[in-house]
Structure 1
């Protein structure tokens, strides 16, 4: 409930988890009885340290009034209980998570490269005009290959989700425009990731695959990027990739391949 109301926060001090369900209540002493019970509870967790939580479980159960063998004026009777305890989380030992290779681009260097390509393109047009004005019988067509690269883009997802939010789709639209201005020979790799700290290995494997495929579908189906310029891979669950923040590992990274 705390995550639904205020969003996921790894270091939250207090977490509330309400729950409801059905149970089976049995009385072994006379009068022996068996009844279906309705249960409701509030599980309260208080963070003391990274490895230790104090928990308080408040719960109630309701059964038919005939359960205790004595019929009264009420249809149901119930039981309230409270349980307190501690939860200890053991640290991982003698185990290393997968190592993720991250390729970083220098934004300033990339802007200078784009400016240089534009400058060379303008020089090409100027040389063409000079040759035409000189009425040369041989015109040399000087061309500069357009190697504009789209800067890497990071798309993050809420925990256990693979749907791309609308505001992120806008950023992917800008990303797609840059891809279209560049060379059609440039291939971009779409890599999906999941947070190793939540979910099983199998769940994270499937979740990272769905996230990468979701970004691929948007670039191809909504923004018209050629499928030949995209390659989709997934890395499953990974350790915190950026700023020691697990939210940034629930992501898809798209960048030009070397």
Structure 2
């Protein structure tokens, strides 16, 4: 073969691959669930006699619903017994005997002191709103061993048995220390509100709870709650609200699956290609190769905007989620990446990170549950307020959906 002085140009390609050090991570998704709770303990009814004399047994049965990692509601039926009493000191009563003919003689009688105590039965169903502070401030983690919550609510206290003779101790002291009013058939001032039969009174309740996880379905818990209702509850007139406090321990049983998991893939490594060209002297120009220009199709994108501090999809934005679902159904091989954001002008990094996560999850849940899109076709990510995709602050309260 004849050698010519023309050297052909040679193109060498070297691919340098840079990989991200991040790894795929597992994320927990909360499932709303029901639970039941059984508790027992003691009650202290606020009063003036010795503390030990105002302690009585107490039980509580609860059915609740955990709607989100933070917010829930429950129906708690608390019941058993309440107590009250009066402390008397030694007293001397002065009277007069005799008549105008024989003359009058002063008399004196000393009545010993003591404590009159009474008790009655009750049942108090009430509805409370519950707030899991551990998930609120530390983020959702179903594997957390300890959870701290607060709650508040109201209900009806149904009480009976105050008029039962066996429920009174040292009742004779009332007649001895209040002889005139007692004999006259009227209650003395201290027990002016003593009642009989069955009474129904509204009450308010608030408290704290600590739960210790045993398994996904079972946890052990401690609870302290304070209850207040009208001044007539304990039968004593004091011109202020009556109170009782319950300290309870028990077991909570979760019904059904409380959470699911999904894997968030690590970002794909960015491939950078470095071209190295070796030039050679040529006798004549190489043929011109015309390359066809392929128009790159723009990815399908929808921006789902949210109100400030909101994570639920507004009705005005729901159509965008439907369009994403229709695109995925029309393109079976397509996948969508949903990325949540929060505006940097409000909240703080912790709150904004949670908001951006919940916004992305709202779109994810709508696609999988409402439109039945396979979860494996959806990648979820969230940026908090670290990235602001829009110049206008309010527009950064958004979940951006990009499908290819």
- Which TM-score bucket, shorter chain as reference? 0.3 to 0.5
| RCO higher in structure (CA 8 A, sep ≥6) | 2
Q: Which has the larger share of strand?
A: 2
Structure with greater Cα Rg? 2
